[in-house]
Structure 1
Amino acid sequence: MQQFPTGVEDNPVVQRAVRHLDGLGDPRFGRTLVRCLDDTLARTIRPMPDGTAFVVTGDIPAMWLRDSTTQMMPYLALMRDDTALQDLVTAVLTRQFRQIRHNPYANAFNAEPSGRAHDPDDLCDDPWVWEEKYEVDSLAFPLLLAHRFWRATGRTDHLAEAARTARTVISVWRTEQDHERLSAYRFVRANGPRSDTLPNGGRGTPVARTGMTWSGFRPSDDACAYGYNVPANLCAAAALDGTAELARHLHDAELAEDAARLAAELREAAVRHGTVRHPDFGPVYAYEVDGLGNALLMDDANMPSLLSLPLVANVSLTDPRYLATRRFVLSPANPTWYRGSAAEGVGSPHTPEGHIWPIALAVQGLTSNDAAERLGVLRTLTDTDAGTGAMHESFHKDDPHRFTRPWFSWADAMYAELALDVAGLGTRFLWETST
């Protein structure tokens, strides 16, 4: 069984980053960076007999397609000359691709066909599936990672399987462009809050065709209020941009054309149908729409979010619509933005009211061109870890010792991305493709 790295202390990029961060006068910055990177490698990675890697998200024994992607992202800055880290990402990608092809509507999987599930009474009885909440980003994020890994390392041994998986993804996204007529997907959960199930017999709220692709659930795993999640569609378009570039490298003209065509459709539809005029901010992106005239103005801390569009959707930091949206998101006009005595930032309906997410704080820093703002966010993250040295899912705006999920590896990864960026060694925006 293949063994993977369990620490990064000897990595020269990490050593340079720690020296830079220590020079900023707060030893917590570099110490937390190393702890976050080491914890993911040592505690969340499980080598599998087939040579792949199973990645838990933290304190839940399942592998989320989205989370396992974001958990790997900061290591892309460290691996140009580190073949062991490269082998790890290849093993994660291989497992993700197989999971997608096995069930493209599932968001989280078991390591073995154990039948374990978030709720055993769900409609899905596939023993490999932990949960079958269909989320557009679950398919987009592994494709983003495949493209970014190739760009970071030049490795090509994952590309054939990436292309094969992309065909499955494109087929699903095409079907879900006409969800009402073509989709057989249903999700009904009898136990739990309303956000854990879809209305209308498991089909979700009604939608009209717009050119966007439908999603049952948000990146938070909460049900969509309206079926077209705008940031997820823009993220899907970016994933297809990268897929088209990979396909051209493979001389697969058909896949390149299919990916580029669908990317253009999703992007054009998201801009056309997902833009609303806010009385204070002007034209901004809505979070969700249904094509029937309804729009939800908010953002969610989970990526892809509206705030994260430059990181995951090839949207320029200088795009006027994005800048207006960013001002909205980081203001009291956004119902999920909170300001307290400990911090201010974006939260989520997925967690209690008044709770701010470290993921969203890191995204705020990574989408800022202001070095002082990025450093300020890094300081806020270390100030609000409740003395644990770890990032949590969320913390109360007035009391960071009131937090959810003591072990949440995705949040650790986002701290690492921001810390590397503050040190001038990050990888943000290096993956943009021509559209």
Structure 2
Amino acid sequence: MMTEQKKIPASLQRIIDRVKEVYAHDTEVQKLFENGFINTYETTLKQDGAGTFVITGDIPAMWLRDSSAQVRPYLTVAAEDREIASMLKQVIERQWKYILHDPYANAFNRTANNKGHQQDRTEMSPWIWERKYEVDSLCYPLQLTYLYWKATGDNTILHPTLKKVAEVIYQVWKVEQNHEENSPYLFERDNCRVSDTLLRNGKGGYSVKTGMTWSGFRPSDDACLYGYLIPANMFAAVVLEYAREMLTAMEETELANKVTALSREIKAGIETYGKIDHPVFGEIYVYETDGDGNVNLMDDANVPSLLSMPYLGYAAPTDQTYLNTREFILSRHNPYYYEGEKASGIGSPHTPDHYIWHIALAIQGMTAVERAEKDRILDMFKNSHGSTYYMHEGFDADRPENYTRSWFAWANSMFSEFILSEIGVYVPGSPLERQKGTEVDNRVL
């Protein structure tokens, strides 16, 4: 793994020391946490005249989704550390600039250098690394902005540019409520896996109007089978409420009312078209639907996922439909749930068969309500890092030394957030913080 030697801020070191104290009996967890927690800080933050650029790790581009998730654990110290807070604000402001440049793009270059997938048949620009339209790419920056505001109390983040960003996101999601008739977005890629391009001459998954908003791709960057990705719409419904709260504080009442109405429309669409009565599990949420009777029953490791509903703030961890859905997706009825000698959990069609994702294990651990399940998740982390003491994208459930992406900062940040939740440290204002105490027994030792 490429690294840049940086002095670890005292605020982050105090978090590391606290974990070491709690896990004094487990040096493996200590090492895993320290490596994972500082991975984003040490290796992926690139400073330049425009602020802070965040690479994913082994790919030199900045994904709106990944960059948000990578820096999220540092919100836990943002109130006390001005330099960390400044870095987070720079990341947010850079995300805003990219969204205003093109809200349909998911990944961007550090400069207008024409890097990335410039041959794709869509409206590319030199700033864009990839232009796969994913609803979650617009959700994550709104979420990060809101959580930064809650963590720091810094009202300067309530800037006129934030209103512009919220307006652009609102307009895109309104247009994509009727993708077939109103959307300008097309995407095709040549000589690739079918999951890397959109069918129907770039129009993508078919959909009828439901109130939900259409997505071309999943958070895995794989094409959606059907136009309405339910977990992404759940995330959108939540962050629109975040936008309402921020816009209300800015006295932008008209736009606040509009985003509130859109959130309600999306949620009504989810609750009407995004559930089925399963013969084994009862009422469950589906992963995707076209709104015309076709559904995709599965879950993917990437967040937003159905498993992550409580983490996102869409449903309580004790909600019955969520629990039914959780039971389904953590069973062999989910085609991407794998069981092996070293671990069991959710993988993705994005990676090889029988490969489990560390991101999904972290989400499973943070949304579990029973101590025994959380303990099993921690054991699986310890058994699946392949002696690298870093987390990966996917790993073979039987032979964890076989894995994808040795330098994948999102996975390291997710693991560190799981450990932080285990010792009672939460991102201020996050659903996990509000839900703390719902576990049957949240003691580490």
The TM-score normalised by the length of structure 1 is 0.95
1: distance between equivalents of 2:246 and 2:333?
40
RMSD in angstroms over aligned alpha carbons? 1.6
2: distance between equivalents of 1:170 and 1:432?
26
SS in 1 for 2:155: coil
Aligned partner letter, 1:95: R
Q: Which runs of 5+ in 2 are unaligned?
A: 436-445
What corresponds to 1:188 in structure 2? 188
- Tell me which stretches of 4 or more aligned residues in structure 1 moved more than 4 Å: 430-433
Aligned partner letter, 2:254: E
Aligned pair in 2 of structure 1 residues 429, 297: CA closer, same or farther (>3 Å)?
same
> Is 2:428 the counterpart of 1:429?
no
2: distance between equivalents of 1:431 and 1:104?
30
The superposition leaves residues 181-208 of structure 1 with CA deviations (integer Å, 9 ceiling, x where unpaired) of 1001000111211001111110013211
> Is 2:171 the counterpart of 1:167?
no
What corresponds to 1:312 in structure 2? 312
SS in 1 for 2:115: coil
2: distance between equivalents of 1:61 and 1:238?
30
1:86-165 correspondence runs (5 A): 86-118=85-117, 120-160=119-159, 161-165=161-165
Aligned partner letter, 1:386: G
1:58-69 correspondence runs (5 A): 58-69=57-68
Aligned partner letter, 1:274: G
1:343-382 correspondence runs (5 A): 343-382=343-382
Aligned partner letter, 2:151: A
C-alpha displacement of 1:222: 0.3
2: distance between equivalents of 1:396 and 1:105?
33
Please say if residues 140 and 239 of structure 1, whose CA atoms lie closer than 8 Å, have aligned partners that are also in contact: yes
Please say if residues 311 and 432 of structure 2, whose CA atoms lie closer than 8 Å, have aligned partners that are also in contact: no
C-alpha displacement of 1:369: 1.9
> Is 2:12 the counterpart of 1:13?
no
Bigger shift: residues 375-384 or 296-305: 375-384
2: distance between equivalents of 1:310 and 1:247?
24
C-alpha displacement of 1:13: 3.3
What count of residue pairs does the alignment treat as equivalent?
A: 427
2: distance between equivalents of 1:28 and 1:399?
19
C-alpha displacement of 1:251: 1.5
1: distance between equivalents of 2:350 and 2:10?
35
SS in 2 for 1:141: helix
The superposition leaves residues 364-385 of structure 1 with CA deviations (integer Å, 9 ceiling, x where unpaired) of 0000122332232122112210
Aligned pair in 2 of structure 1 residues 262, 431: CA closer, same or farther (>3 Å)?
farther
SS in 1 for 2:156: coil
Please say if residues 310 and 432 of structure 2, whose CA atoms lie closer than 8 Å, have aligned partners that are also in contact: no
2: distance between equivalents of 1:166 and 1:6?
36
Bigger shift: residues 329-338 or 117-126: 117-126
1:172-321 correspondence runs (5 A): 172-321=172-321
SS in 1 for 2:46: strand
C-alpha displacement of 1:8: 4.5
2: distance between equivalents of 1:331 and 1:339?
9
Q: Which runs of 5+ in 1 are unaligned?
A: none
Aligned pair in 2 of structure 1 residues 147, 422: CA closer, same or farther (>3 Å)?
same
SS in 1 for 2:192: coil
C-alpha displacement of 1:276: 0.9
The superposition leaves residues 230-252 of structure 1 with CA deviations (integer Å, 9 ceiling, x where unpaired) of 00001001110111111111111
2: distance between equivalents of 1:313 and 1:181?
31
SS in 2 for 1:399: coil
Please say if residues 120 and 187 of structure 2, whose CA atoms lie closer than 8 Å, have aligned partners that are also in contact: no
Please say if residues 148 and 431 of structure 1, whose CA atoms lie closer than 8 Å, have aligned partners that are also in contact: no
The superposition leaves residues 158-201 of structure 1 with CA deviations (integer Å, 9 ceiling, x where unpaired) of 22132221111000000000100100100011121100111111
2: distance between equivalents of 1:368 and 1:220?
23
The TM-score normalised by the length of structure 2 is 0.93
Aligned partner letter, 1:77: T
Aligned pair in 2 of structure 1 residues 6, 175: CA closer, same or farther (>3 Å)?
farther
Please say if residues 11 and 81 of structure 2, whose CA atoms lie closer than 8 Å, have aligned partners that are also in contact: no
1: distance between equivalents of 2:158 and 2:353?
43
C-alpha displacement of 1:91: 0.4
Aligned pair in 2 of structure 1 residues 123, 10: CA closer, same or farther (>3 Å)?
closer
C-alpha displacement of 1:122: 3.7
Aligned partner letter, 2:15: V
What corresponds to 2:79 in structure 1? 80
C-alpha displacement of 1:14: 3.3
SS in 2 for 1:400: coil
Bigger shift: residues 37-46 or 423-432: 423-432
2: distance between equivalents of 1:431 and 1:370?
17
1: distance between equivalents of 2:122 and 2:7?
38
Identity of aligned residues (%): 42
C-alpha displacement of 1:105: 0.2
C-alpha displacement of 1:6: 5.0
2: distance between equivalents of 1:293 and 1:424?
43
C-alpha displacement of 1:407: 0.5
Aligned pair in 2 of structure 1 residues 390, 371: CA closer, same or farther (>3 Å)?
same
Aligned pair in 2 of structure 1 residues 193, 375: CA closer, same or farther (>3 Å)?
same
1: distance between equivalents of 2:213 and 2:66?
21
